């Protein structure tokens, strides 16, 4: 009999205790009937057959921890019980005990260990038949049932391995998706870097031409107007640079999933690709073309907020075009709170780039977010 009641991975559970108590009670009842009907062929020690038979059922406590040793213990207990007490009716409890242990051995062990479990269980059935008062024929009936239980255990083991493989594959796909998103964000940032370089060349060229005009205008008294133009253009340059540099800020957890510079017309494809055909996209107001920076940020805000939601039905995205505001609403079943916080933080960064606002709420396992991007400076 196993000497340890626990293992690092598996512990004796309540179901193990319940099965053991039930079969032990049935075994005691069966042995009492054997003693009182004189089925036991060793009448001098017949009363000991009652507690001794509990040794056949006690190993069921270890059916999940160590089913192979538990089966060995049951086989030894059956052999000793038959040697000491002779023929008796044991099949009514022995076969269920062997069946439970055969199933556990097949479902929790692989290869030779699983085959050893089947061998021990069949050997136990043979011992029951050899020492049973009803004759050896009960073994012919019980062995196939035990083998069937073992086969069901192999099926359960296969399903458990398949579920584990699917979990691993799902994790790998999630990692691959995040890596692809990171690469596409880097592509976005590279495109914006190119735009920044072009902006600097254009704006600095304009400022240089204005400075040349200022030198020529000192004599005729128009220098003040030229300096005013230089100041205005310089501020405009700074504003455009601030917008581009804000987008270029490090976004290590970015999760872009489309090509660079997407627009609001790509939202439907984004929603279907990210959350499936059950996700809903609705548009209110007066749809129109918006500044490229606003459309890009709006697309990314929706994308980040979708990352906070589970891939499940019930996801709704609404885009509302107001006169001076673009409002984006995203809601659905939420993921783990840490993932929601990270996705909302990325969306908030995009919204603050345009001096907008973002409101979020969670209740009943759902997350709701409303982002507003102003269209008038």
Cβ within 8 Å of residue 167, ≥6 positions away: none
Percent of the chain with pLDDT over 90: 11
Q: When comparing pLDDT for 7 and 190, which is higher?
A: 190
The domains of the chain are located at 14-166, 255-377
User: 77 and 123 in contact (C-beta within 8 Å)?
Assistant: no
pLDDT at 13 over 90: no
Q: Given the structure tokens 């043979």, which residue do they identify?
A: 126
**pLDDT of the residue at 259:** 44
**pLDDT of the residue at 261:** 67
The pLDDT-based confidence of 215 (bands split at 50, 70, 90) is low
Query: What's the rounded mean pLDDT across residues 361-376?
Result: 87
The pLDDT-based confidence of 7 (bands split at 50, 70, 90) is very low
What is the rounded distance in angstroms from the CA atom of residue 188 to the CA atom of residue 299? 13
What is the rounded distance in angstroms from the CA atom of residue 115 to the CA atom of residue 340? 48
Strands (E), 201-343: 280-285, 316-321, 325-333
What is the rounded distance in angstroms from the CA atom of residue 206 to the CA atom of residue 200? 10
For the stretch 158-192, pLDDT in tens is 888 888 888 888 888 888 877 877 777 777 777 77
Characterize the bridge pairing of strands 316-321 and 325-333: antiparallel
Query: What's the rounded mean pLDDT across residues 281-289?
Result: 89
Handedness of CA 186, 190, 195, 201 (dihedral sign): positive
**pLDDT of the residue at 92:** 81
**pLDDT of the residue at 8:** 45
Q: Given the structure tokens 């253009």, which residue do they identify?
A: 233
For the stretch 49-87, pLDDT in tens is 888 888 888 998 898 888 999 998 988 988 888 888 777
Highest mean pLDDT: which of 133-147, 198-212, 246-260? 133-147
The pLDDT-based confidence of 2 (bands split at 50, 70, 90) is very low
Query: What's the rounded mean pLDDT across residues 335-359?
Result: 86
The pLDDT-based confidence of 234 (bands split at 50, 70, 90) is low
Handedness of CA 354, 357, 362, 368 (dihedral sign): negative
Q: When comparing pLDDT for 122 and 140, which is higher?
A: 122
pLDDT at 290 over 60: yes
**pLDDT of the residue at 282:** 92
Compute and round to an integer the Cα radius of gyration of the chain: 38
pTM > 0.85: no
pLDDT at 132 over 70: yes
Top-tier CATH class for 255-377: alpha beta
pLDDT at 258 over 50: no
Helix axes 292-307, 337-353, angle to 10 degrees: 170
DSSP result, 145-173: HHHHHHHHHHHHHHHHHHHHHHHHHHHHH
What is the rounded distance in angstroms from the CA atom of residue 64 to the CA atom of residue 82? 27
Mean of the per-residue pLDDT values for the chain? Answer: 79
What is the rounded distance in angstroms from the CA atom of residue 225 to the CA atom of residue 234? 14
């Amino acid at each position: 009999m196993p000497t340890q009641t626990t293992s690092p991975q598996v512990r004796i559970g309540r179901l193990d205790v319940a099965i053991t108590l039930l079969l032990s009670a049935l075994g005691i009842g069966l042995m009492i009937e054997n003693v009182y009907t004189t089925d036991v062929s060793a009448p001098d020690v017949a009363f000991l057959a009652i507690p001794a038979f509990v040794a056949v059922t006690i190993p069921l406590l270890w059916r999940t921890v160590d089913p192979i040793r538990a089966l060995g213990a049951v086989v030894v207990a059956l052999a000793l019980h038959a040697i000491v007490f002779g023929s008796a009716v044991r099949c009514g409890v022995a076969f269920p005990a062997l069946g439970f242990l055969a199933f556990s051995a097949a479902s929790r062990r692989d290869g030779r260990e699983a085959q050893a479990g089947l061998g021990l269980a069949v050997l136990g059935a043979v011992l029951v038949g050899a020492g049973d008062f009803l004759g050896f024929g009960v073994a012919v009936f019980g062995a196939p049932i035990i083998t069937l239980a073992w086969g069901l255990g192999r099926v359960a083991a296969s399903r458990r391995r398949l579920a584990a493989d699917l979990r691993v594959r799902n994790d790998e796909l999630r990692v691959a998706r995040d890596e692809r998103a990171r690469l596409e964000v880097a592509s976005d940032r590279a495109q914006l870097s190119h735009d920044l370089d072009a902006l600097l060349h254009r704006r600095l060229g304009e400022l240089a031409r204005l400075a040349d005009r200022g030198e020529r205008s000192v004599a005729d008294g128009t220098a003040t107007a030229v300096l005013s133009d230089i100041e205005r253009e310089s501020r405009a340059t700074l504003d455009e640079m601030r917008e581009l540099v804000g987008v270029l800020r490090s976004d290590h957890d970015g999760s872009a999933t489309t090509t660079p510079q997407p627009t609001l017309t790509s939202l439907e494809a984004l929603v279907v690709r990210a959350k499936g055909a059950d996700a809903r996209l609705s548009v209110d107001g007066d749809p129109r073309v918006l500044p490229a920076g606003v459309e890009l940020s709006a697309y990314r805000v929706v994308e980040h907020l979708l990352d906070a939601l589970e891939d499940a039905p019930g996801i709704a995205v609404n885009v509302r075009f107001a006169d001076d505001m673009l409002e984006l609403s995203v809601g659905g079943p939420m993921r783990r709170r840490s993932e929601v916080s990270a996705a909302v933080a990325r969306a908030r960064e995009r919204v603050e780039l345009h001096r907008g606002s973002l409101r979020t709420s969670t209740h009943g396992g759902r997350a709701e977010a409303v982002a507003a991007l102003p269209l008038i400076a």
